[in-house]
Amino acid sequence: MSEAPAIETVDLKKRFEAADALRGVNLRVPAGSIFGFLGRNGAGKTTTIKLLLGMARPTSGRACVFGLAAADPAASVQIRTRTGFVDENKALYEYMTVGEIIRFTAAFYPNWRRDLEKRYLQSFGLPPHQGIKGLSLGMRTKLSLLLALCRGVELLVLDEPTSGLDPAAREEVLQALVTHVSTENLTVFFSSHHLADVDQIADHIAIIDAGRTVIAGELEDLRAQYRRVQLVFAGEAPEIAFRASGVVRVRRQGRVLTALSSAGSDALIEEAMRFGPVSADVLPVSLKEIFLESVALED
Amino acid sequence: MLWHKAWLETRGRFLGGLALCIIVGFGAIYDFRATERLLPVVRSIDPATLDMSGPLGAAIKESLQAQQSFRGFVWWQWYRQNLTYLVVIFGALLGAGGLLAKSEGATLFTLSLPVSRNRVIGTRALVGLAELLALAIVPSLVLPLLAPSIGQTYSVIDVLAHGACMFVVGSVFFSLAALLSNDYADVWRPVLIACVVAAVIGMLEYIPPIGQFGMFKVMNGESYYRHAGLPWIGLLVNAAIAATLLRTAAVKLAHRDF
């Protein structure tokens, strides 16, 4: 994996008239990674993607793709030459057929992959003479993916690629993506609020909430660092103001005190033991729990 | 390939407009036969017995004088009225839409392609203007082609000269609709506003001092019809207005957030 990030944003902010869409997004997407960009609806995922692709301009901060400034119109054209994109609505030209939009898109990419085009047309079951207007959402998603994958690019930016799909179609799309990435040397940056999708294919994640990055890092590291410590006391659980670093949230319910830590459990348990719990258990934390705790923290 | 996309987006409006203009052009030729039958009656009227004072009287007088010949009839009926209306409407229709139009959709897909926004709007404008040029000239070619069938002739040079005037002024309404399309995601509002603007300008031109310099006088090629000279200054002014409107549309689009 190369040192230079494929995508880097520093304190990226975007204001639309009266509303702050982004209030400080910091991302570092390593080249060659599959980067899951998580957040609730309206958290700022699509706005971030638009800024990366030059579809909107930041109010302040910096967004670079391949080291090029995304806000510069000329650099943005270069970025898009090296990037495939699938938007969340999978909106394509309704007046074209599948074959027409493939020929249209291929004309802009000198490295267009004819071999992949044939392969995906067949494996996705896309009829070239079918009008786009008549395609189901699943077929439209597959066509959007084909148009992104065949560009012969270094970076795929996918905005909610599986939204609106049934579980079978979702699995098919994710499998196609994983298979493609395993054979091609590229970076995938995809936004989603489907945690299972991210859990299944991502190696790095960032969680964004209310326009701010709240967590970012390698998924395995996050899983290793996040721990839930469950302490059971003989009587009512005491109120403890933990001083250990990385304590994300503490909950008391009767005799049970549960604390979530983003910096392992050792320091937290050491501190808790002074209050004399009858038992202390350390539990692994799922991505879903990390996500829910992170976005709840921001409320 | 952007030109192909622009063609696919506008071909329905263009071909519809072309067909309509050609049909109306046919009608204009064969209407002359009916007018021709009325000419002896018109010539028998003693102008002294009619009150031709006032704007309406002047218009009737001008109309009667112009339509005594086939060339005058064509100018009055076809260039001064029918084709002017059609080019304004279809010019606006061809200019409307583009990157933002909901009906054409996939704005983000277009913006994800490795092309500048200027190239997107520029290609769309070039294709639309080429279609407008065809609308301004091709339907009028039925005049020299079919005039012999009613015992008349019409010059191809006249068609080209009037077509040039139609195209240049029509491009103002094309560009206005293109500019308005930055603010409206549907096609119809830019077209409607452009047509209302045309109607207001048309009405203002009835005021004599304004009428002298009216854009519709340039559009129907009145100076070419009367004096065989193209209205160069009017054409240049209108071309400059159209270019400014298109440039403004491109600048607005370049700075827009999607």
- CATH number for A240: 3.30.70
CB contact under 8 A, B1 and A103: yes
Per-residue pLDDT band for A1 (boundaries 50, 70, 90) equals: very low
Return all residues near A241 (Cβ < 8 A) that are at least 6 apart.
none
pLDDT for residue B101 = 65
Do A47 and A142 reside in the same domain of the chain?
yes
CB contact under 8 A, B254 and A73: yes
Round the average pLDDT of chain A to a whole number and report it: 91
Residues of A in contact with B106 (CB under 8 A): 91-94
The burial of A18, by beta-carbon neighbours within 10 Å (0-12 exposed, 13-18 middle, 19 or more buried), is given as: exposed
Return all residues near B75 (Cβ < 8 A) that are at least 6 apart.
B66, B162, B220, B221, B222, B225
CB contact under 8 A, A83 and B112: yes
Backbone dihedral region of A32: left (phi > 0), alpha (psi from -120 to 50 degrees) or beta? left
The burial of A187, by beta-carbon neighbours within 10 Å (0-12 exposed, 13-18 middle, 19 or more buried), is given as: buried
The answer, for A16 touching chain B at a CB cutoff of 8 Å, is: yes
More confident residue, B90 or B59: B90
Pairing of strands A19-30, A60-65: unpaired
The answer, for A54 touching chain B at a CB cutoff of 8 Å, is: yes
- Minimum-distance CB partner of A94 among B105, B108, B113: B105
Model pLDDT for residues B225-237, shown as the tens digit of each residue:
998 889 999 999 9
Residue A97 has which token pair? 């057929």
The answer, for A93 touching chain B at a CB cutoff of 8 Å, is: yes
Of chain B, the percentage scoring pLDDT greater than 90 comes to 67
Do A211 and A264 reside in the same domain of the chain?
no
Residues of A in contact with B112 (CB under 8 A): 53, 55, 80, 83, 85, 87
Do A146 and A270 reside in the same domain of the chain?
no
Model pLDDT for residues B17-36, shown as the tens digit of each residue:
999 999 999 988 888 888 88
Number of Cβ within 10 Å of residue B22's Cβ equals: 16
Q: Summarize the confidence of residues A159-168 as an average pLDDT.
A: 87
**Beta carbons of B192 and B183 less than 8 angstroms apart:** no
Q: Summarize the confidence of residues A120-147 as an average pLDDT.
A: 93
CB contact under 8 A, B105 and A73: no
Q: Which residue has the tokens 């910091």?
A: A26
Per-residue pLDDT band for B92 (boundaries 50, 70, 90) equals: very high
The answer, for A73 touching chain B at a CB cutoff of 8 Å, is: yes
Do A108 and A165 reside in the same domain of the chain?
yes
Q: How far is CA A170 from the centre of its chain?
A: 16
Per-residue CA distances from A38 to A15, A45, A209, A217 (Å): 20, 7, 9, 12
Return the CATH number at A81. 3.40.50.300
Round the average pLDDT of chain B to a whole number and report it: 90
**Beta carbons of B135 and B173 less than 8 angstroms apart:** no
Q: Which has the minimum average pLDDT: A238-242, B102-106, B121-125, B198-202?
A: B102-106
C-alpha span between B65 and B219 (Å, rounded): 20
More confident residue, A248 or A111: A111
ipTM score of complex: 0.87
pLDDT at A288 over 90: no
Model pLDDT for residues A36-74, shown as the tens digit of each residue:
999 988 899 999 999 999 999 999 999 999 999 999 999
Backbone φ and ψ for A202, nearest 5 degrees, come out as -80, 150
Pairing of strands A19-30, A5-16: antiparallel
pLDDT at B125 over 60: yes
**Beta carbons of B151 and B70 less than 8 angstroms apart:** no
Per-residue CA distances from B92 to B69, B131, B196, B239, B240 (Å): 32, 12, 11, 15, 17
Residue range of the domain that includes A197: 5-219
Q: Terminus-to-terminus CA distance in chain A, angstroms? A: 36
Residues of A in contact with B254 (CB under 8 A): 73
CA nearest to B182, candidates B82, B98, B93, B239: B98
Residue range of the domain that includes B171: 2-254
Q: How far is CA A50 from the centre of its chain?
A: 14
Do A119 and A248 reside in the same domain of the chain?
no
Instruction: List the A19-30 sheet strands across, edge first.
Output: A68-69, A60-65, A5-16, A19-30, A212-218, A204-209, A34-39, A187-192, A155-159, A83-86
Q: Summarize the confidence of residues B119-131 as an average pLDDT.
A: 96
Model pLDDT for residues A225-245, shown as the tens digit of each residue:
899 999 999 999 998 888 888
Do A247 and A214 reside in the same domain of the chain?
no
pLDDT for residue B102 = 63
Per-residue CA distances from B115 to A77, A109, B41 (Å): 6, 11, 64
C-alpha span between B41 and B67 (Å, rounded): 13
Which residues of B lie inside 8 Å of A (Cβ-Cβ)?
1, 4-5, 8-9, 104-109, 111-117, 254, 257-258
Residues of A in contact with B107 (CB under 8 A): 91
C-alpha span between B78 and B221 (Å, rounded): 11
Do A231 and A206 reside in the same domain of the chain?
no
Please give the tally of structural domains in chain B. Answer: 1
Q: How far is CA A104 from the centre of its chain?
A: 29
pLDDT for residue A284 = 87
What's the DSSP call for residue B139? G
Q: Which residue has the tokens 């029918």?
A: B82
Q: Summarize the confidence of residues B177-181 as an average pLDDT.
A: 95
Nearest CA distance, A299 vs chain B (angstrom): 28
Domain boundary among A175, A195, A219: A219
pLDDT for residue B175 = 97
CA nearest to A155, candidates A187, A178, A179: A187
pLDDT for residue B30 = 87
Do A81 and A183 reside in the same domain of the chain?
yes
pLDDT for residue B34 = 85
CB contact under 8 A, A95 and B1: no
pLDDT at B53 over 90: no
Model pLDDT for residues A164-185, shown as the tens digit of each residue:
788 888 888 888 888 888 888 8
Domain boundary among A196, A219, A242: A219
Per-residue CA distances from A161 to A121, A142, A154, A193 (Å): 18, 9, 18, 10
C-alpha span between A199 and B247 (Å, rounded): 48
CB contact under 8 A, B257 and A56: yes
C-alpha span between A43 and A21 (Å, rounded): 8
Counting one residue from chain A and one from chain B, the pairs whose CB atoms sit within 8 A come to 68
CB contact under 8 A, B114 and A95: no
Nearest CA distance, B67 vs chain A (angstrom): 45
C-alpha span between A163 and A174 (Å, rounded): 12
pLDDT for residue A299 = 47
- Minimum-distance CB partner of B106 among A83, A92, A107: A92
What's the DSSP call for residue B78? I
**Secondary structure of A115-140 as H, E, C letters:** HHHHHHHHHCCCCCCCEHHHCCHHHH
Per-residue pLDDT band for B103 (boundaries 50, 70, 90) equals: low
CA nearest to A14, candidates A73, A74, A72, A55: A55
Do A162 and A26 reside in the same domain of the chain?
yes
Please give the tally of structural domains in chain A. Answer: 2
Model pLDDT for residues A198-210, shown as the tens digit of each residue:
888 899 999 999 9
Highest mean pLDDT (candidates A74-83, A247-256, B28-37, B207-216) = A74-83
CB contact under 8 A, A91 and B4: no
SS3 assignment, position A93: coil
Number of Cβ within 10 Å of residue A62's Cβ equals: 14
pLDDT at A27 over 60: yes
Most A CBs within 10 Å, among B99, B102, B112, B118, to test the A interface: B112
Instruction: List the A227-232 sheet strands across, edge first.
Output: A247-253, A256-261, A227-232, A279-284
What's the DSSP call for residue B100? T
What's the DSSP call for residue B141? G
